[in-house]
């Protein structure tokens, strides 16, 4: 019994969907692994761009991949978790990078910090 063109298209569609689901699961697992392995960076400075947008500064090395991972807002503070993935090369963190953070409510007089460290200083 030979497969009809319609059957071949259905099989191909199932294969494509299966591969997309597997890629999504692998990406999620990779993200969870990075979150548990990489230490959170401290935030020294922040600056307000407008009422609901701030930029936080983090020390980073050349060729590093720095990302804002989690933003948790409370009525009194904004906690920003930043992770940096560095290539396995010798060197120091020789640059200051600014990462944009979008808030769901105006910043107002809330403090900005990374989890477990003192609040960052506001830069004009």
pLDDT 10s digits, 56-110: 988 777 677 788 888 999 999 999 988 877 766 666 666 778 889 999 999 999 9
Name the domain count of the chain.
2
Enclosing domain of residue 8: 1-37
Judge if 59 and 98 occupy the same domain. yes
Per DSSP bridges, beta strands 121-122 and 45-50 are parallel
The reply to whether 101 and 50 lie within a common domain is: yes
Mean pLDDT of the chain, nearest integer = 81
* Judgement on whether residues 52 and 76 belong to the same structural domain of the protein: yes
What is the predicted pLDDT for the residue at 93? 61
Same-domain status, 5 and 59: no
Q: Are residues 25 and 50 in the same domain?
A: no
Local confidence band at 32 (pLDDT 50, 70, 90 cut-offs):
low
Instruction: Give me the mean pLDDT over the 24-32 stretch.
Output: 78
Q: Do residues 32 and 49 share a domain?
A: no
CA atoms of 56 and 47, how far apart (whole Å): 7
* Beta strands 111-113 and 77-85, pairing class: parallel
21 and 72 in a single domain? The answer is no
Residues 33 and 58 in one domain: no
Residues 23 and 59 reside in one and the same domain: no
| Distance of alpha carbon 119 from alpha carbon 80, whole angstroms | 11
For residues 51 and 27, state if they share a domain: no
């Amino acid at each position: 019994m030979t497969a009809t063109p319609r059957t071949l298209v259905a099989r191909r569609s199932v294969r494509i969907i299966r591969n997309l689901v597997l890629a999504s699961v692998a990406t999620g697992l990779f993200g969870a692994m990075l979150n548990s392995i990489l230490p959170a960076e401290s935030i020294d400075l922040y600056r307000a761009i407008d009422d609901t947008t701030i930029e936080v500064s983090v020390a980073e090395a050349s060729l590093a991949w720095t990302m804002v991972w989690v933003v948790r807002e409370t009525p009194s503070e904004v906690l920003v978790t930043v992770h940096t993935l560095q290539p396995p090369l010798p060197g120091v963190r020789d640059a200051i990078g600014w990462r944009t953070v979008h808030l769901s409510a105006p910043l107002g007089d809330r403090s900005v910090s990374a989890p477990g460290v003192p609040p960052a200083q506001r830069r004009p």
